[in-house]
């Protein structure tokens, strides 16, 4: 096998960090190129969080052990960074990457799934196991290492289980990068002023928010995250089957560090929604699956208020002349506004926020949008469910004339929320049939 660590001119990058890699067949010899990942810094707080995430993943998915292995600074070996293993099995702390066939396959962009001892043998696993899952621990630009889950029992492993492990791998990557950023701040030549500026960054998702709405078929779409000092986001994504996913979300106040842990909770919800939407028939089904992923990925009691919609293909609606159809669901202080010339209706179910109850159920509501009609997804804080705020939101649209409503664009529709002074809303997104 050729040297797997020869750097390429541009290094290694992930084309789409939200796209799940394929399950991989056992190797017959392989090559891989990986990027250099900074040596992890020791830190008891980070260590505790990593072990808690590993333990939550193993217990939640009914595996016996979980391990996090990181590339060293020379990218020639893997170091065990953290593990959760009640059996206290002694394991080596470092492994040469060139001898780690399964890890190389994962670092090349896939997931290794072992369901019995026969499947395990070709991979040469570093510990005895009858079942295992390995996925990359990676950010948008850097692969840091590999997350492993092990079990002594042979078992069938569903694609949905692998998807959840992928999300947990992203959660671990955030912890590693937060630790590296903290180390860099500690040694920053500008001292405390630079550190203070860096500490404010985790609470912002501005760089992650979509900037160009998909202009397709009968759909006009616009979103906005309001600057109310909250950790919030809006997001949209076109699925492979032509459907559109739209999301407005915000963190519900909870104990703990609001900068790092809140960002992790919101990012977990965003990644899980995009990942699981393809195989979800309705928004309610999707929200229940996202809830389980957020529950496993967070540790400090954060809750996510979220309104989410799955919209049938806008191109098909344009071709057939039919209304836009879809479903939406909400958790926490979140919901939707149906804005029509005849009237405006607020639907605010006030269901359990994501991440608080693993078994929470979320109702899916179907909708149709005729030409000129809008569905506005909204998410915010607990004030959103008060009758006063609901009345203010309805008035923001019913004060317009019929002609004014007909001319209202999706972007202007979102802006009406800010003009109405509804600070209870942290994020909103408009779906409009044109």
User: pLDDT tens for residues 198-209?
Assistant: 343 443 455 456
In degrees to the nearest 10, what's the CA dihedral of 169, 174, 179, 183? 130
Which is nearest to 20 in space by CA: 207, 172, 242, 170?
A: 170
Paired residues of 224 in beta bridges: 428
Query: 90-99: long-range contacts (C-beta < 8 A, 24 or more apart)?
Result: 91/67, 91/126, 91/127, 92/126, 95/69, 95/126, 97/4, 97/5, 97/34, 97/71, 98/1, 98/3, 98/4, 98/5, 99/124
pLDDT at residue 16, as a whole number: 33
pLDDT at residue 205, as a whole number: 52
Query: CA angle 274-275-278, nearest 5°?
Result: 85
Name residues whose C-beta falls within 8 Å of residue 16's C-beta, 6 or more positions apart in sequence: none
How deeply is 229 buried, as exposed, middle or buried, from its count of CB atoms within 10 A (0-12, 13-18, 19+)? exposed
Distance between CA atoms of residues 120 and 332, nearest Å: 43
Distance between CA atoms of residues 168 and 174, nearest Å: 10
The secondary structure of residue 434, as a DSSP letter, is: -
Q: How far is CA 377 from CA 46, 268, 365, in A?
A: 35, 19, 13
Query: CA angle 414-261-382, nearest 5°?
Result: 45
CB 270 within 8 A of CB 294: no
CB 384 within 8 A of CB 348: yes
**CATH fold for the domain made of 1-199:** Beta-Lactamase (3.30.450)
In 12-171, the DSSP E strands lie at 65-71, 77-84, 94-96, 112-114, 131-138, 143-151
User: pLDDT tens for residues 147-189?
Assistant: 999 999 999 998 888 988 988 888 888 888 888 877 765 554 4
Distance between CA atoms of residues 290 and 274, nearest Å: 9
**What pTM value is reported for the model?**
0.61
pLDDT at residue 37, as a whole number: 34
Biggest CA pair distance of the chain: 73
Residues of the chain with pLDDT under 50: 1-21, 27-43, 188-204, 207, 254-258
**CATH fold for the domain made of 204-433:** Phosphatase 2c; domain 1 (3.60.40)
Distance between CA atoms of residues 354 and 369, nearest Å: 27
Tell me how crowded residue 95 is: count the other CB atoms within 10 A of its CB. 16
Domain ranges (residues) in the chain: 1-199, 204-433
């Amino acid at each position: 096998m050729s040297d797997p660590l020869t750097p390429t001119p541009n290094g290694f990058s992930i084309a789409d960090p939200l796209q799940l890699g394929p399950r991989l067949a056992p190797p017959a010899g392989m090559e891989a190129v990986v990027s250099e990942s900074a040596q992890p810094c020791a830190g008891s707080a980070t260590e505790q969080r990593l072990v808690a995430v590993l333990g939550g993943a193993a217990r939640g998915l009914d595996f016996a052990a979980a391990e996090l292995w990181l590339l060293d600074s020379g990218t020639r070996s893997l170091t065990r960074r953290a593990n959760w293993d009640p059996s206290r099995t002694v394991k080596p702390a470092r492994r040469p990457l060139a001898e780690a066939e399964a890890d190389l396959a994962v670092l090349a962009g896939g997931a290794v799934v072992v369901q019995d001892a026969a499947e395990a043998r070709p991979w040469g696993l570093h510990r005895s196991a009858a079942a295992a899952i390995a996925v990359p621990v990676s950010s948008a630009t850097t692969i840091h290492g590999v997350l492993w889950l092990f079990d002594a029992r042979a078992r069938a492993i569903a694609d949905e289980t692998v998807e959840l492990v992928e999300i947990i791998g992203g959660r671990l990557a955030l912890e590693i990068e937060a630790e590296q950023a903290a180390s860099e701040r500690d040694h920053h030549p500008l001292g405390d002023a630079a550190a203070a500026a860096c500490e404010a960054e985790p609470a912002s998702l501005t760089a992650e928010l979509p900037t160009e709405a998909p202009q397709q078929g009968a759909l006009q779409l616009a979103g906005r995250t309001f600057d109310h000092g909250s950790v919030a986001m809006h997001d949209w994504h076109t699925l492979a089957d032509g459907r559109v996913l739209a999301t407005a979300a915000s963190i519900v106040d909870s104990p703990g560090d609001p900068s790092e842990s809140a960002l992790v909770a919101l990012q977990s919800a965003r990644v899980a929604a995009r990942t699981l939407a393809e195989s979800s028939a309705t928004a309610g089904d999707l929200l229940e699956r996202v809830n389980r992923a957020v529950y496993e990925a967070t540790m400090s009691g954060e809750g996510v208020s979220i309104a989410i919609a799955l919209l049938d293909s806008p191109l098909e609606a344009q071709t057939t002349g039919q209304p836009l159809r879809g479903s939406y669901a909400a958790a926490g202080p979140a919901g939707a506004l149906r804005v029509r010339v005849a009237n405006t209706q607020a639907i605010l179910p006030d269901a359990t926020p994501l991440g608080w109850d693993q078994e929470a159920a979320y109702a899916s509501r179907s909708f149709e949008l005729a030409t000129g009609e809008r569905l506005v997804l909204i998410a915010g804080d607990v004030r959103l469910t008060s009758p006063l705020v609901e009345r203010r939101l309805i008035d923001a649209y019913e004060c317009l004339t019929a002609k004014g409503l007909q001319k209202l664009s999706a972007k202007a529709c979102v802006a009406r929320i800010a003009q109405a002074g509804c600070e209870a809303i942290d994020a909103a997104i408009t779906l409009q049939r044109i």
